Amino acid sequence: MLLRTLVLALLFATPLASGRDKPENWIQVTSPHFIVATNANEKQGRRLADQFERMRSVFHAAFPKLEVDPGVPIVVLAVKDEKDFRALEPEEYLAKGSLKLGGLFLHGPDKNYVLMRIDAEGQHPYSVIYHEYTHLLISKSADWMPLWMNEGLAEFYENTEIHEKDASLGEPSAENLEWLRQNRLLPLATLLTVDQKSPYYHEEKKGSIFYAESWALTHYIQMNDFSQKAHRLNDYSALLVQKIDPVTAATRAFGDLKQLEKNLENYIRGGSFQYFKMTTTTEVDDSAFKVQSLTGTQSDALRADFLAYNHRTGDAQSLLDRILKEDPKNVLAQETKGFLAMQEGHSDEAKKWYEQAVQLDSQSFLAHYYYAVISMRDAREATGQDQVESSLRAAIKLNPLFAPAFDSLGVFLAMRHKNLDEARMMGVTAVSLDPSNVGYRINVANILMTMEQSQNAIVVLQAAAKVAKTPEESQMVADVLTRAQEYAESQSRFAEQQKRAREDRNSSNETVSEGTVPRLKRREQFVPKGPHRFAVGVLKSVTCDNPALDLTLSRSGKPLSLHVDNYFKIPFSTLGFQPDKDLDPCTDLENRPAKVEYVESANPSVTAQIVSIELHK
């Protein structure tokens, strides 16, 4: 029976025993790029870490432009046998007749997990390692890559052979060939459309056919593309990114699917298979590996965290409750509690757990990051704002490759109109760490508009439009680009008005006799007084003189007159509804319920200044 591996994408049964039947000895081996936790011995833990490091080295040499080091942890849980594996694998694979897994990869925005069985080594001793590492490297393409291609590439590279001075990539799989020669192939139209809900991804026999045929199709196309100097797999990928369905994309890239099926059958039954061989050295200094024993609660907390990310929420909660009863200061257990609360939409509870972890001097960048992000919305007083900023800076210090922390700090500083040059640099750093993230680029553009650099914002957004991969991303960029262009036009008009006013004054000074020179009324310079204040009411009397904005907040008591010189610098947000179009402050604020953040002037005769506006339903 073939053991298979699985890839699962995270979007933001065998039960676990309520107590440990007998103590297990878990160790953790930390190498430069991986964390391997195992209930096997130190020798096996070191061997696994060594193989992951060697696989990374090979991929780095073979694909120098590929990002082989994600900015979030790569944690490998290597368990001894099927019993330990089933206590952690997805619930849908626990039913009788389900596909037997040898490993799986969980990819989330903030953490990567690999779960593997040490006793599932089979013909190739390191196939599970190479398979799962391939999933890790192509995880950023998971949104558009169909399952056959994702698994086919992982199966293709799982048979990698690493030697002292060379490596072989894509060696043929004897097990897959035997299975395919003894069973009927799936029609390609079926294979190309298998998704994670399909029985071909879960049931034992159907799943084995799916994996084997995905390998065969990938191997056939890869080798033919190489020998014919073609790029059909790349062409297919480009069509998928454009949201073309997998079958149509395959027909355009590969030609007639019936003919491709015949060619694939002949390829499988043939006796000659090529593979890639490259010269490379993969020296790994295992003396730099750090080994530590894990206590019972530490290993349980690690397993509970994996269960939480694996959507086995009930099992995770039960284990966490027991851990925290035994060890109330277990930081990882508190962080996992926060993660589960956040997944369920309970932000106040999540904030409590993350705050406790931070106060216990957590060395987890995620604890600091999530505490700050959850607190940002409610951090109105100076003390709370300082705590948010401090936690974001701690997250960056603990993990300088984690792009979301840089992005959030840039946005937060801009919201406070504080250190805008640094805010821009934080945003630029986030983009450099994750160039494909369109949201980071939009946030940089918003920061630039806050700095009154509308032309630079337009340049950033034009670059973002080229990176956008989905219609939703393209529309989001287009909306902000329109706002930036309107802002640039208003800046230009304002500058022209100022120029004409200066010319008029100069002309008047030259032509009007002394004693009759008209004097423009001097506008009082705004000097802020005291802390920021908040008021809730209905927006009235909204008037614009781009980019200036005046309005009145109707509330119980005296109406409040408010002004801002440049409304492009105001952060707008909504509570309780999602706007159906981009906000135009000049036309969309009148009669809106809102919460306004403002600051009073040191001169009582000068109108208070708007800092931010939160629109209510």
Other Cβ atoms less than 10 A from the Cβ of 183: the count is: 13
> Is the same domain home to 105 and 254?
yes
pLDDT at 572 over 70: yes
> Is the same domain home to 42 and 178?
yes
Mean pLDDT of 4-11: 44
Q: Rounded to a whole number, what is the distance in angstroms from the first to the last CA of the chain?
A: 58
- Phi–psi pair at 581, nearest 5 degrees: -155, 170
Distance CA 387, CA 538 (A): 31
- % of the chain at pLDDT higher than 70: 88
Residue type, 537: G
Task: Quickly list DSSP for 175-216.
Answer: HHHHHHHHSPPPPHHHHTT--TTSGGGTBHHHHHHHHHHHHH
Mean pLDDT of 355-382: 84
User: pLDDT tens digits, residue range 400-449?
Assistant: 989 999 999 999 998 888 789 999 999 999 999 988 899 999 999 999 98
**Is 568 inside any structural domain?**
yes
Q: Give 3-state DSSP helix, strand, coil % of the chain, rounded to 5.
A: 50, 15, 30
Judge whether 71 and 434 are in contact, CB under 8 Å: yes
- Counting the structural domains of the chain, the total is 3
Using DSSP's 3-state secondary structure scheme, residue 559 falls into: coil
pLDDT at 507 over 80: no
**Of 123 and 567, more confident:** 567
pLDDT of residue 129: 76
**Is 593 exposed, middle or buried, given 0-12, 13-18 or 19+ CB atoms closer than 10 A?**
middle
Long-range contacts of 556-564 (CB under 8 A, 24+ apart): 560/535, 560/596, 560/598, 560/608, 561/607, 561/608, 562/596, 562/598, 562/607, 562/608, 562/609, 562/610, 563/607, 563/608, 563/609, 563/610, 564/609, 564/610
Mean pLDDT of 485-496: 79
Q: Residue 607 is part of a domain; what is its CATH number?
A: 2.40.50.140
Residues 6+ apart with CB under 8 A from 266: none
Distance CA 351, CA 512 (A): 67
Distance CA 483, CA 462 (A): 13
**Is 181 inside any structural domain?**
yes
Distance CA 614, CA 291 (A): 51
> Is the same domain home to 406 and 491?
yes
pLDDT at 93 over 80: no
Q: Residue 64 is part of a domain; what is its CATH number?
A: 1.10.390
> Is the same domain home to 75 and 211?
yes
> Is the same domain home to 183 and 222?
yes
Q: Mark which of 279, 302, 332 sits at the end of a domain.
A: 279
**Is 491 inside any structural domain?**
yes
**Is 555 inside any structural domain?**
yes
**Is 65 exposed, middle or buried, given 0-12, 13-18 or 19+ CB atoms closer than 10 A?**
exposed
> Is the same domain home to 195 and 108?
yes
**Is 358 inside any structural domain?**
no
Distance CA 596, CA 585 (A): 14
> Is the same domain home to 461 and 537?
no
Give me the domain span that covers residue 418: 402-506
Distance CA 353, CA 248 (A): 48
Mean pLDDT of 105-122: 79
pLDDT at 326 over 70: yes
Q: Mark which of 279, 298, 314 sits at the end of a domain.
A: 279
Pairing of strands 35-38, 74-79: parallel
Mean pLDDT of 138-165: 84
Stretch (H or E) spanning 324: helix 313-326
Q: Residue 458 is part of a domain; what is its CATH number?
A: 1.25.40.10
CA 108 to chain centre: 7
> Is the same domain home to 541 and 466?
no
**Is 315 inside any structural domain?**
no
**Of 110 and 457, more confident:** 457
- % of the chain at pLDDT higher than 90: 38
Mean pLDDT of 500-526: 53
pLDDT at 123 over 80: no
Judge whether 388 and 375 are in contact, CB under 8 Å: yes
Judge whether 270 and 264 are in contact, CB under 8 Å: no
Using DSSP's 3-state secondary structure scheme, residue 227 falls into: helix
The structure tokens listed for 12 are: 């933001």
> Is the same domain home to 481 and 557?
no
**Is 360 inside any structural domain?**
no
Task: Quickly list DSSP for 413-477.
Answer: HHHTT--HHHHHHHHHHHHHH-TT-HHHHHHHHHHHHHTT-HHHHHHHHHHHHHH--SHHHHHHH
> Is the same domain home to 130 and 35?
yes
| pLDDT band, residue 213 (cuts 50/70/90) | very high
